[in-house]
């Protein structure tokens, strides 16, 4: 990070040691977001890139234990992670695949943005995680999602070239988790970054095969390493001439141009709310085969 950010790296390290401010994403399937925000028992303020997001002045455990959480009025979610579904921007009637969906924050956000009026195929390869995903889909009152537990290749065989939008929030080395999880810091290794980058390339290639002509693919991670972010997207673009990067406009996000991918977005924990995320959106050519 010192090589990549220079003196600014010290601000990043300080942010990773600072307390986290919890955030919730209000669920429009449970009521008008403005009314739900007024009903929160804590002071709150807006998340810049997510109209339904609120930063709350409370402890995370208190927010998680409130009956409003059990009722699906909100989803306790890192504010940086809220940027991902906003980048997908699903519309009513669209077929959307969330390829690595557990525990369900992004799936339920996608369904809410589409007014619960599309179809979200919400997938996780781990059955235990898929069941937790299903629980969150049910808790938030989503009726437009189907939860699957399948390898990406199986979904591609069934839905290849048919999807309006595909989201791959890829498994990663989790540097964005360092602030909330000492275990994530201890588990990090240089070899793990390379291993995740290899897995991400395989998954993003499968994700691209799902996208219909004119459709979009959003790739994201909660890590900072360019090998798992910009390099993966550039690898895909070099192999898929029918895809092109579509610039993102997320208020408060930083452009990834210094890391070789102008138009992609980085959310840094020392610059904006949340623990950090990388997001890139690609569009498949409308005249693709």
Catalytic positions: 222
What span, in angstroms and rounded, lies between the C-alpha atoms of 5 and 258?
9
Q: What angle do CA 28, 167, 60 make, to 5 degrees?
A: 50
Residue 183 structure tokens: 């275990």
């Amino acid at each position: 990070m010192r090589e990549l950010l220079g003196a600014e790296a010290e601000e990043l390290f300080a942010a990773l040691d600072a307390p986290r401010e919890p955030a919730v994403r209000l669920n429009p399937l449970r009521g008008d977001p403005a009314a739900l925000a007024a009903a929160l028992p804590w002071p709150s303020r807006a998340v810049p890139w997510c109209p339904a997001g609120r930063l709350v002045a409370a402890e995370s455990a208190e927010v998680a234990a409130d009956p409003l959480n059990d009722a699906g009025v909100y989803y306790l979610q890192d504010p940086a992670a809220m940027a991902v579904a906003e980048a997908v921007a699903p519309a009513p009637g669209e077929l959307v695949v969330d390829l690595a969906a557990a525990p369900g924050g992004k799936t339920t956000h996608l369904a809410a943005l589409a007014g619960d009026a599309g179809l979200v195929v919400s997938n996780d390869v781990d059955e235990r995680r898929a069941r937790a995903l299903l629980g969150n889909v049910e808790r938030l009152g989503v009726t437009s999602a189907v939860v699957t537990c399948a390898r990406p290749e199986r979904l591609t065989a069934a839905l290849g070239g048919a999807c309006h939008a595909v989201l791959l929030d890829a498994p990663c080395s989790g540097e964005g988790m360092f602030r909330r999880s000492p275990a994530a810091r201890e588990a990090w290794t240089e070899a793990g970054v390379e291993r995740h980058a290899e897995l991400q390339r395989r998954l993003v290639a499968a994700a691209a095969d799902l996208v219909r002509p004119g459709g979009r693919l959003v790739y994201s991670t909660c890590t900072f390493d360019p090998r798992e972010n910009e390099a993966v997207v550039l690898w895909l673009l070099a192999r898929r001439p029918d895809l092109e990067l579509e610039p993102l406009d997320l208020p408060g996000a930083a452009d990834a141009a210094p890391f070789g991918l102008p138009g992609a977005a980085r959310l840094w924990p020392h610059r904006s709310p949340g623990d950090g995320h990388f997001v890139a959106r690609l569009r498949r050519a409308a005249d693709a085969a």
